[in-house]
Chain A
Amino acid sequence: MNESEKLSHELQDIKQIMERSSRFISLSGLSGISAGACALIGAWFANKAIHEQHYLISELRQSSLHINTVINGDVLQNRLLQIGIITFIAAFISAFFFTYQRSKKSNVPVWGTTARRLMINVCIPMVVGGIFLYAMMQNGIYDFVASGCLIFYGLGVVNASKYTLHETRYLGYAEICLGLLSAFFIGDGIYFWAAGFGVLHIVYGIFMWIKYERS
């Protein structure tokens, strides 16, 4: 084996160990900021929809057309669900974009073993929570949607923090606490939701960006 081959081999070993052992460290702080921004925009639309609904109901009361309120109630739930899904997709895509950028820069595959591990571990509590909340909504229980979203998401983040930058753990704890608190303030769910998915993500994102990416 000549000198060049030996050195190449050495470098390859290094790379391999790094990949095998690593957490998914390409998670970008900008992803947190953008996801948080999406959540705030989504919450704004949701809040608007809720207020419009209240306005509509009071109008209907005045004109004593009570029959329609039930139907409109369903319309609101559907609208909120739509807003929620669109917000989630937008947040996911924007978060993916910045993390993809960072992973390209640091030459780590965005869909490597560590990324897969990370995703699976985030998803387990989140999918469970999603199905559970959906089942509750099917039974007309909407009171714990915001709180449930926050709690299950927080559990997902804490669970996955072992496989990425360890600071994510604190984001998870914060989401769980907020979710639990929110369960005691039913009716104000939208504000907790905005604080948890919007503000916390942005604060976390800025912190991570300053710590790891600002150069």
Chain B
Amino acid sequence: MKNPIENLNKTFDSRIRLGIMSALMVNTSINFNDLKQLINVTDGNLASHIKALEESGYIKVQKGFIGRKTNTLYAVTKAGEKAFQTHLDALGKMIKNIK
């Protein structure tokens, strides 16, 4: 029998990472503060999850400045887009099967 959760991506196994990916999927890029506000987490928490996603190659980071303040932008990579879509499809299928 096929394992029903084999298509679930372990990298996305957290509410915060799901939130980051969801927001980035539908935006060209989002900066750190907006992301924080959107998902409602602390700086450190968000930063560590971003790092994990970045190391997986699912998001890319672009550091910039607005005046003197740093403005770090995050965007989803092609690989990230694909991986997240697969993950979403798997989630959808599982819900269907359970019902």
Task: Mark A residues whose CB is within 8 Å of B.
Answer: 3-4, 7-8, 10-11, 13-15, 17-23, 25, 165-166
Contact = CB atoms under 8 A, between A and B. Distances in A.
A212 B39 CA distance: 27
Contact of A4 (B18, B25, B26, B99): B99
B91 A22 contact: no
Given A11-B91, A11-B95, A17-B39, 16 more contacts: A3-B98, A4-B99, A7-B94, A11-B88, A14-B18, A17-B19, A17-B23, A18-B22, A18-B23, A19-B26, A20-B38, A21-B27, A21-B38, A22-B26, A23-B27, A25-B26
A13 B91 contact: no
B91 A21 contact: no
Interface residues of B, number: 20
A7 B98 contact: yes
A4 B95 contact: yes
Interface of B: 15, 18-19, 22-23, 25-28, 30, 34, 38-39, 88, 91-92, 94-95, 98-99
A22 B15 contact: no
B26 A23 contact: yes
B30 A21 contact: yes
A17 B27 contact: no
Contacts of A4: 95, 98-99
Given A14-B22, A17-B19, A20-B38, A7 B27 contact: no
